[in-house]
Amino acid sequence: GELRSYLTGMWIPEEAVLKRPYAIQFNNYKYAASFQSGTSQAGILYEALVEGGITRLLGVSDSYSGDRLGPVRSSRHYFASIVDEYDAIYIHFGKTKYARAKLTALGINNLDGETGIGDTVFYRDKSIKAPHNAFTSVDRILKGIDKKDYKTTYRDSFEPHFSFYEEDTDLTSDTPVNKVTVGYSSYISPYLEYNATDKLYYRYQFGAPHKDTQNGEQLSFKNIIIWFVKESNIDHNGYQTMDFENASGSGYYITNGKMVPITWKKNESKKWMRFYDEAGQELTINPGKTYIALFPDNRTKGVKLE
């Protein structure tokens, strides 16, 4: 009655594996981060810059639960492109004009709080200042999916994004990594520290442990992937863009206290993206949760491995 999750490689109920995952756009503004709920449930958590040195998070999960997931914020077009790689249903509250165009071009099934589906899928916590107070729940997401008549199983052409080791595997590497600092900006200053006892990396931001208020847990990850991308301003408003629709580049894979260099290739039109090891083979990662940081490839020194 169980299969390996396409997102984590862990054994979970078969029905959870076979249904499409949800990709939630989490608010990561400092004020809003103190109310985050559901981030620890993400099998894969992406982070990327938006405007003004702030980052936004995208949590992809086949196992979301509970009645408080959020705060949810607006879409950016590069996150929409990532959602498409997983054939996920995208949950966000608003969007830029660039994201609107990307959602339409890729035909992504999405639940947007600024559309007629908003009151069905989202609610506001009035004890929190807007616009940082929009939350959803699994029941509300399911009602939205039903109203939009979205398919809940994967497209026929879908192929899982990652390959996983059968068992926990140490890297053959001479590069120890006990701390990873992802220097997006001085505003957020995120980093992850390795715990050799449980072999997980624990995340910090804004000078404190990054916790999920739903359960009080600090976010932790078995795998870290640093994905170097070509990034720049797309207009005078400071909106970012990433040149990765049909591109390739480099990065790092980090697990169990070690790092190996990797490469990547993405072809958006084929809904396809893969990471590769030093031998040019598709990257195999350890079972568990994964944190993926999209980081500007012209600032690679901003990622510090200690």
For the record, the structure tokens of 114 come out as 């600024």
- Measure the CA angle with vertex 101, ends 140 and 7; round to 5°: 50
Residue 188 has, within 13 A of its CA and on its CB side, a CA count of 29
pLDDT score, position 149: 98
As a whole number of angstroms, the distance between CA 272 and CA 302 comes to: 28
Give the pLDDT confidence score for residue 208 in this predicted structure. Answer: 97
Q: What are the residue ranges in the chain where pLDDT is below 50? A: none
Do the Cβ atoms of 190 and 183 come closer than 8 Å?
Answer: no
Q: What is the pLDDT of residue 213?
A: 96
Task: Determine the 3-state secondary structure of 288 from DSSP.
Answer: coil
Query: Could you tell me which of 134, 137, 74 has the C-alpha nearest to residue 110?
Result: 74
Q: What is the per-residue pLDDT across 68-100, written as a single tens digit (0 to 9) for each?
A: 999 999 999 999 999 999 999 999 999 999 999
Amino acid 176: pLDDT: 97
- Write down the pLDDT at residue 135: 98
Instruction: In whole angstroms, give the CA distance from residue 155 to residue 304.
Output: 39
Name 224's bridge partners: 254, 291
Angle at 70 (CA atoms; ends 64, 75), nearest 5 degrees: 100
Q: What would you measure as the largest C-alpha separation in the chain, in angstroms? A: 54
- Picking from 293, 280, 294, 278, the residue whose alpha carbon sits closest to that of residue 244 is 294
Q: 221-258 pLDDT, tens per residue?
A: 999 999 999 999 999 989 999 999 999 999 999 999 99
